[in-house]
Chain A
Amino acid sequence: MAVAFDEMKGEDGSVRPAYRELSAWLGEIRPDVLDYRRREAELLFRRIGITFAVYGEADSQERLIPFDVIPRILSAAEWALLSRGLEQRVKAINAYIRDIYGKRESLRAGIVPEDLVYQNPVFRPEMNGQKVPHDIYVAIAGIDIVRVDDQTFYVLEDNARTPSGVSYMLENREIMLRLFPELFSRHRIAPVDNYPDELLATLQSIAPNSAAVEPSVVLLTPGVYNSAYYEHSFLADKLGIELVEGRDLFIKGEEVFMRTTQGPKRVDVIYRRLDDDFLDPLAFRPDSALGVPGLMSAYQAGNVTLANAVGTGVADDKAVYSYMPEIVKFFLGEEPILKNVPTWRCREEQHLAYVLDNIEKLVVKEVHGSGGYGMLIGPAADKAAIAVFKAKLKSAPANFIAQPTLALSTCPTCVDSGIAPRHVDLRPFVLTGRDRVRIVPGGLTRVAMKAGSLVVNSSQGGGTKDTWVLDG
């Protein structure tokens, strides 16, 4: 594995321009002051109640995600490139999903193998031939980006269902503004606090035509026990919309209503943070108590917008991922601006053979896994784990892809021993409305707090950083 690219020190150890002020500041600030602010930040997070739940840990129903006070910085030029690439990628994703549930030209042209679509558990036959308002399937996308050198950004993963993390982007900035005003005064940093307005404008723009002039938008949450509940309530509050659970809604005459203290009130747009499976017990999982019986009938009648649409999973699983460059070319007739990480599809015989022979060097991922679960990091795995994964690969190769172990870029990070480089990734959020695409400059930077670790997922001990895009 190559030496990781450090975003502050670059390839040759000289401080890169975007980090010049930060580097100087880190040289000036006393370690005890930094440490004090660090603890203050944790206290603030704890009081605000930004917590998340880790599945499988009974005793810690609510936990804090570690927050690192040293910001991650992108130059204006880097961001310009990224944002063009993100817009392009999400446009292609929307065109692709529309095609899959419509004319299927991409399948006929052999861009994506058919079985990858039809045998995919997240493919929703209910959506075949179904029109969605304004043809927008993915209104909110979270695209995970990693960097390997000065020039190269890769898309690591597309999240086209219910991506989370944007509340951390917003809260991290608020906390940084409170704790380090002097650091802000030394930079010009693009703001992120307009995100809720942009999100609301996006959601309102995709209301069905039958909606009121001022469409009624709600956020549908699985409830307080969901790991991202804090984010749901946070966003509903910032957007000024109702935070509803399934039991607050009901269907009458193929329209959606919410129960209010003044009787039923029609709902036009549902920003749902509930997976497809749980949306409607009559259409999907009958045991779901979280959804709204009959919701799909109102949706199919065109009386309500679901954001994101049902069935968008066909565009974001790890098997389809490897076809994204071709998908971009096919639908937009453009070269992809953002590269994919080179990917071996274990469903293909030659690729599988290569993966089995080189597994110690590769990262093997389950096609439907997420959150850093169900993956093997070859160089870090012991023999037993490798043997287990090899067996899995042989028995169900189509369930896996493999990628080289990337030397993810590092950023200076506060750790117990002082300031040290730690690996990071970036999740920017891309909003697609009827009128235009909106991307707030920045996103959520996740950082692997353990030395050498490449796993940045919060469920596995990863932390977050404020992400700065320099203005000019």
Chain B
Amino acid sequence: MKLLGGFVPARWFGVIVLVVGLLSGSQAFARVQLHVWSATDTSAFEPIIKAFEERYPDIEVVYREFNTSELYQVVMYNIDNPDMEADVIISPAMDLQVKLVNEGLAYQFEPENAEAIPAWAKWRNELYGFSFEPAALVYNKQAFHGLTRPTSHTDLSSLVRDYPEMFRGKIGTYDIRKSGIGYFFATQDAIQNNQSSRLIETFGRAGARLYCCSSEILNRVATGELVLGYNVISSYAIEAAKNLPEIGIYFLRDYTIAMSRTAFVPKTSQAKYEAQAFVNFLLSHEGQEVLANQSALIPINQKVQTELSPHIADIPVFRVKLGIGLLGFQDQLKKKSFLEDWRSSILWNREDE
């Protein structure tokens, strides 16, 4: 496995350049390179790539990590570029993925294990969801000691208003202008909950802090710099909680939005066969087991037991369906006005940080 950066000016996205694994001399030249561009933490994806490379010794995976919005922009920017290196594109932002596929970028194929994917997580025989990741509430256990945990979004709103001192400047959530997955969760909140703007206003009044990524929020919750993280990707949260016991994970009981990390093979791929093998592997029982046991990610296959299973057993999970509907909030005008509303709510008396 190889981790690469470059290609687009570095200010677009921060890429970790890493070369992992020793390539034994003679084999190195024979191996086909498979470029996976993904908006997934490298650490979360590493075990899958290792397992895949063991299974297919002839394929070398070159992994490149992006932020969701960056990935979308890079791919859209290279829409007509036959030299685009990507062979598999993976992102948790389902709306952005649908938009890319709707542009006709994706190569159509039927994976071997397609029937194991629930209908909501596949589209057009082109876009396939392989993980199941609800949006979680994370909190600092020490700070929350003695507090009744909120059960609904309205409860959460009241709680923040009731303890202004405790939450002032200590709520963290995505800066949805920069994070595609943050925007996706925020828009799904708006669809599910007509009170969602009030929650954002409450956060704004409490001086909520905005971050690009789940990891930033999680680290700060662990140290106590934040007491609450809102709409954090649960897979990352569960993984972080293993190492950082201060982190508590919680799902609201009125509704919890769940997304699926999706993958597609671009038409421009030069290694379609290997790319298909990779997607097949992600969806296979073997791959799903790797997700469940070795990776932070949570498999979509309901037959594979996960650490998450007990947490969400009785929570009404709203699974966002892949499809044209997701384009609604990707309309330029609509996005502009949504972001404007959001900005004025969350930064009501502040300037951009």
The answer on A and B forming one complex is no
